[in-house]
Structures are given as structure tokens and as C-alpha cells.
Amino acid sequence: MTTDEAALAVAAALDAEGVPYIIVGGYSSNTHGIPRATKDVDFVVSISANHFPDLLTHLGPQWQRDPQLSFETNTGAVRAVLELKDSPLKVEMFALSDDEHDQARFARRICKPFTGQTVAFPTAEDVIVWKLRWARHKDIEDVRSIILVQERESTLDWPYIRGWCARHGTTARLEEILASLPKRGR
Amino acid sequence: MENFRRISSDDMLMEQVEEALRMTPEQRFRAGGELFDAACRFALAGIRGTFPGASEQECLARLKQRFAWADELDPAVRP
């Protein structure tokens, strides 16, 4: 099973369990921007009381789940990890948090029709807003690529992006990125 | 030498943008996995060459260890 097939299999399993989700991380920025290799598949799932669904019945014996839920001390995120046996791939499921923007990006999620199924993602604007908060090198590169692709492919809602950046204190970071982009028609 | 076209990093970036625009969102989604799978194949080939007596399971364990080290270098974020 390839990594993208594995990601779609987990999305289908969440659908089968009736668990609303969005695919976040590198896969969401790839969908909106320039693709890059991504070693993890990350989901945010809407669940109650950190009760992660048991997806193994849908996924089959080539999968295993880390029996221990983990708590990211840096971010306070509760997550469950699925692993594809005989593969380095990890699928991480994070519980939807109370963070205002986490709630907003989840509520505004968009479903894209892929071959054989629909898959839920945050909007391009929400990926930009989220990545500007974390601002690791790869996040900044993702923001650049999403802006460049989406400005040509559709229309970015700049008032929405700028509104969240003002609330998160990331406006200067956004302006720095915009100034660094190659000259282009706007 | 004059046959070579001089291109800047901005030119290269815009070529990548053009390539991404020729892809559907699904193709871009799948490309991330395909790039990762290809990187793993290359890395495993390198590990097999370095440890010729290692079993496939041992090679995979070494590859997973490399990703664990990479995770240590990458600050934890909520994606």
C-alpha cells in the first residue's frame, strides 16, 4: 500500500465510523500548493472525551495502533497514532481542540472529490493562517507555495487571513513572506 | 556554455508553481505520498548497502530510527 493510499484508507475508515475529520499538515498544504514529500499523515478528528475510534476493523491486519494515547507537552494536543506495518508511515490523529482557529478551520472545512471518495481539508486560507503560527522553515515554504498557486488557481480571502494574523500576532511574518515572493500579477 | 539558460531561485520556484497548476488537487495530494515513498526506497537501498547482512526488518527499523531522529530535530507542533 502506498502512502497516499494509506491516507485515503484512513479517511474512508473515519467516514465509515461517522467521525468528522480534516486532513492537515503536509497533505493539506500539498493539496493547495506545491507538493513536497511528507512523512506523516495528520488528521484532526472531532471526537468527544478523547475517545478515538477503533479504525482497525476497517483498515485490516496490515495496520496497528499504538495502544497509548500521547499528549504533546509543547502543544497540549492529544493524539492517537496508527502505523502501517512494514512501513515507516505514521498516521497521527489529533483531537479537535478548543482553540478558536482550530474550531474555525474545522467548521469551514471543504470536501474535495477524489477518485472514489470525497476527502475533507481545511481551506487554503486556514492552512496559511495555521502555518504562520508555527512558522518552522517548512511551514514558511508551504505558505509561500500556497499563496503562489492559489492566487493563480482561485482567489484567496485576504481579509480573513489578515484578520486571524492580527489576532495571532503573525501579521509581520505574513508581510515578510509576501515581500519575499517573486514578482507576479495580482 | 552559452547554450545554458541562467535561472534564479525565483525562476525555479515559478516553474514549480506552473507544474503544480497543471495538476489537480488530487494529483498534488498523491504526489506528496509518492515523493515520500520514493525517498524511502532510496534510503532503504542505502541502508541495505551499508548493512549488507541486515534483514528487511532490521533495515526498516534503521529507517524508522532515522525518521525518529528527524522528529527530534523538528519542534513538536500541532499540525
Angle, vertex CA A17, rays to CA A13 and CA A18, nearest 5: 115
Q: Cα Rg for chain A, rounded, in angstroms?
A: 17
> Which one of B21, B32, B70 has the shortest CB-CB distance to A26?
B32
Kindly report the three-state secondary structure assignment for every residue of B21-33.
HCCCHHHHHHHHH
Provide the β-strand partners of residue B79. Answer: none
Q: What is the pLDDT of residues A121-152, one digit of tens each?
A: 999 999 999 999 999 999 999 999 999 999 99
Residue of B nearest to A23 (CA): B79
Chain A with chain B: Cβ pairs closer than 8 A: 118
> In chain B, which residues have pLDDT < 50?
none
Residue B77: half-sphere exposure toward Cβ, Cα within 13 Å: 19
Q: What is the pLDDT of residues A30-66, one digit of tens each?
A: 999 999 998 889 999 998 877 888 899 999 999 998 8
Cα–Cα distance measured from residue A129 to residue A143, given in angstroms and rounded to the nearest whole number = 9
**Contact (CB, 8 A) for A28 and A94:** no
**Contact (CB, 8 A) for A1 and A114:** no
Cβ–Cβ contact B14 with A under 8 A: yes
Global ipTM = 0.90
**Contact (CB, 8 A) for A119 and A17:** no
pLDDT value of residue B38: 95
B25 interaction partners in chain A (CB closer than 8 Å): 31-32, 112
pLDDT value of residue A158: 97
Q: Per-residue confidence at A102, pLDDT binned at 50, 70, 90?
A: very high
pLDDT value of residue A74: 60
Cβ–Cβ contact B21 with A under 8 A: yes
Residue of A nearest to B35 (CA): A37
Residue with cell 515572493: A181
Cα–Cα distance measured from residue A159 to residue B41, given in angstroms and rounded to the nearest whole number = 43
A77 interaction partners in chain B (CB closer than 8 Å): 78
Shortest Cα distance from B50 to chain A (angstroms)? 19
Mean pLDDT, chain A, integer: 91
DSSP string, A69-136: -EE-TTT--EEEEEEETTS--EEEEEE--S-HHHHHHHHT-EEEEETTEEEEE--HHHHHHHHHHH--
Cβ within 8 Å, pair A88-B63: yes
